[in-house]
Structure 1
Amino acid sequence: MAGLSIGIAGAGLLGRLLAWRLAHAGHRVTVFDPALAPGPRFDGWQAAGFSAAGMLSPLAEREVSSARVAQLGWRSIGLWRSIVAGLRTRVGFAACGSLLLAHRSDRGTAQRLLARLAPDEPGAVRPQALTPAALATLEPALLAIAHAWLLPQEACIDTVAAMCALQSEAPGVAWAWGQTVRELAPGRVCVDGRPPHRFDWAIDVRGVAGQAQAPVRGVRGETVWLRLQGHGLLRPVRLLHPRHRVYVVPRSADLLIVGASEIESADRSPVSLRSAVELMAAAHSIFPALDEARIERLDVNLRPALPDNEPASSIEPGLVRINGLFRHGWLLAPALVEDVLQASGLAAALTPAGVAP
């Protein structure tokens, strides 16, 4: 089925991943997006993929998600490893696990969470309790906190670098920037004020912008970008907090991203003083060296969620839709894309031969 014309609505993570794979499969791909340029803007309106911290945490996400999400997530970690290896651009990726930390006063909350994270499933990955000495060996920069667990095999990825690489390394793709798609039908993409564009296949991956075709809502996420030379953190860290699940993710040797899971709101206004103070205070309580960090950016964005917070995809002749990845976009995208491409017959596998080992 090589050589088909394919129109993709949305240049977020799903759109870029699909375009990259379909172009390598020999299809003629056009991607439509209202953004004026491919790079990040950090203004609250960019693709949510740019704003994400990049944690790939199928085990930790069992707190709020289904076994299906976890299974897709474990598959995606393996797919990301292959995808990153096949990109010419250097994209940071590490799979050395993550940490879950709790202060002494939050032990009860931690035990309830751990019960959710240890399902009675054959071969399931389970949290490993750490002594203060073991924690200090893994992450010397962290405070010797009361309770700590290693979540093995979890990973993280540099989301900005990956978004840029997938776009720039998609051969022959036509990127139609500044074009807002209002409607899709089998083989047809309708852009504001223009006649419909005709394709063999149309793919809808607009996320929150696809509300006219799906019961999707926006869920707010906030992050603080901190610059700290030689911070020393090697893996993502989650802290159990009375109001949030606060996380700290190393992006590079001198850049950290601090955030919380989600806020049930479609508000795109800037980060509030209260949120910023709570996030940074929680992170500082486990990472004392942050008192010398410089605040580089406060970022906010919306993640697309369906009523059950589960991802959904549909395929009919000439039309594919994927939406509702919620806060699991980077965790789920590769596996969902691979499933859709195989089910539609558009590509045999996510990682094309000759692109990754």
Structure 2
Amino acid sequence: MTVTILGAGVAGLCTATELLRHGIAVQLVDPSGGPGPQGCSWWAGGMLAPFCEGESADPQIVAQGQEAADWWQQAGAEVTRAGSLVVTLQRDRQELDRFARRTSGHVRLDRDGLAGLDPVLADRHASALHFPTEAHLAPRQALSALRDGLTRQGVTVQPEAPAPGLTVDCRGLAARDLLPDLRGVRGEMAVLRAPGVTLPCPVRLLHPRHPLYIVPRGDGVFMLGATQIESAARGPATLRSVVELLSAAYALDPGFGEAEVLELGADARPAFPDNLPRVLEREGRIHVNGLFRHGFLMAPALARQAAALVLAKLKELPPCRSS
């Protein structure tokens, strides 16, 4: 039997990849034709940072997210294992203490220790938290790697759903027709080129009102994000959010003052009321959804769960009769 997967974002592509690893034939359906600017996966940060996420996320995110870097590397994505840094402005130094209490997997760096990673950051920050085992990737390259891997195995994205059969629904917010408890959480981002900035790894700037993360993409390009707004609106980024992102980046490293703004974007991420992603079965359809802000971190774990459920369902089906 061929399993139909609806949606070719990070959840759908990971699930298709995992099913193929188990020898299960798949067909991938997405009206948009595949990953692109129309989906929230396109605008992701790509941080594989389970310990940092533990500051506010459920322990299962920390536990299952630790599988992500190895999974992505095995799938052909370029994974950079440079760790993560967490810093704060001097006036907000209590935020760093709070973050440290709520997380694990880090070491505290003084100014000299931070200077060993980035002298510019050390000039402006007296201490930091370093999460040495964390990683990051470029989401668009990772999505392309999955799509190309599927194409080599004869799986292409089809615009329309075929006849009914065993279906795995990975449509994100579009699945609210069947999952009414899904809600949208809007995120906005900016991509900058700042050749004078040399951040060694993703950096989170803690701030009580305007937290920020910056992810290096290579060749002096950086992705900025962190807005989290309770809204399913998918329009362009707002002026307020862009000003906050750019101001926070300048506070982190003045080198961003001369940066070129390459791209601004926004989209809405699907989330359940408790912000936990899940695999569930409803009305005969398997759903992989609710990734919230943990898309690339948690999609591999959910894909494995979905594959296990599909395998169990296939064993329940009666054997095919030959004519």
Instruction: Give the TM-score, by structure 1 length.
Output: 0.81
Name the structure 2 match of 1:139. 118
Supply the AA of the counterpart residue of 1:247.
Y
1:238-280 Cα distance to aligned partner (Å, 9 max, x none): 0011213200000122210011151122222211222111111
| Aligned-partner Cα distance in 2 for 1:316–1:107 | 46
How do 1:95-114 residues align onto structure 2 when only pairs under 5 Å count? 95-114=81-100
Contact 1:132 1:144 in 2 (8 A): no
Q: 1:318 to 1:267 in 2, by over 3 A?
A: closer
1:214-242 Cα distance to aligned partner (Å, 9 max, x none): 11111000101001236322200000112
Name the structure 2 match of 1:161. 141
Post-superposition shift, 1:161?
Answer: 0.5
Post-superposition shift, 1:39?
Answer: 4.8
1:125-160 Cα distance to aligned partner (Å, 9 max, x none): 2x2111112112112343431331102211101100
Name the structure 1 match of 2:190. 224
Contact 2:81 2:134 in 1 (8 A): yes
Larger deviation: 315-324 or 99-108? 315-324
Instruction: Give the TM-score, by structure 2 length.
Output: 0.89
SS in 1 for 2:303: helix
How do 1:122-201 residues align onto structure 2 when only pairs under 5 Å count? 125=105, 127-142=106-121, 143-170=123-150, 171-177=153-159, 179=160, 197-199=163-165, 201=166
Post-superposition shift, 1:22?
Answer: 2.7
Q: Any unmatched runs of 5+ in structure 2?
A: 314-323
Percent identity reads 36
Contact 2:18 2:303 in 1 (8 A): no
| Aligned-partner Cα distance in 2 for 1:311–1:218 | 13
| Aligned-partner Cα distance in 2 for 1:295–1:281 | 13
Q: 1:210 to 1:318 in 2, by over 3 A?
A: closer
What is the count of residue pairs matched by the alignment? 309
| Aligned-partner Cα distance in 2 for 1:322–1:160 | 20
Name the structure 2 match of 1:350. none
| Aligned-partner Cα distance in 2 for 1:204–1:344 | 12
Supply the AA of the counterpart residue of 2:289.
N
Work out whether 1:38 is the aligned partner of 2:30: no
Question: Which of the residues 115, 121, 132 maps onto 2:101?
Answer: 115
Name the structure 1 match of 2:25. 28
| Aligned-partner Cα distance in 2 for 1:19–1:241 | 39
Q: Any unmatched runs of 5+ in structure 1?
A: 119-124, 180-190, 348-357
1:189-236 Cα distance to aligned partner (Å, 9 max, x none): xx5xxxx6133x210111111011111111000101001236322200
| Aligned-partner Cα distance in 1 for 2:57–2:27 | 33
Supply the AA of the counterpart residue of 1:216.
L
CA RMSD of aligned residues (A): 2.1
1:81-131 Cα distance to aligned partner (Å, 9 max, x none): 322xxx3xxx4311221000011111222222221114xxxxxx2x21111
How do 1:176-325 residues align onto structure 2 when only pairs under 5 Å count? 176-177=158-159, 179=160, 197-199=163-165, 201-214=166-179, 215-229=181-195, 231-315=197-281, 319-325=285-291
Contact 2:41 2:139 in 1 (8 A): yes
SS in 2 for 1:248: strand
Name the structure 2 match of 1:48. 40
| Aligned-partner Cα distance in 1 for 2:213–2:282 | 39
Contact 2:18 2:307 in 1 (8 A): no
Q: 1:152 to 1:102 in 2, by over 3 A?
A: same
Determine which structure has the larger helix proportion and give its number.
2
Question: Which of the residues 47, 53, 74 maps onto 1:82?
Answer: 74
| Aligned-partner Cα distance in 1 for 2:112–2:92 | 20
TM superposition outliers: structure 1 runs of 4+ over 6 Å: none
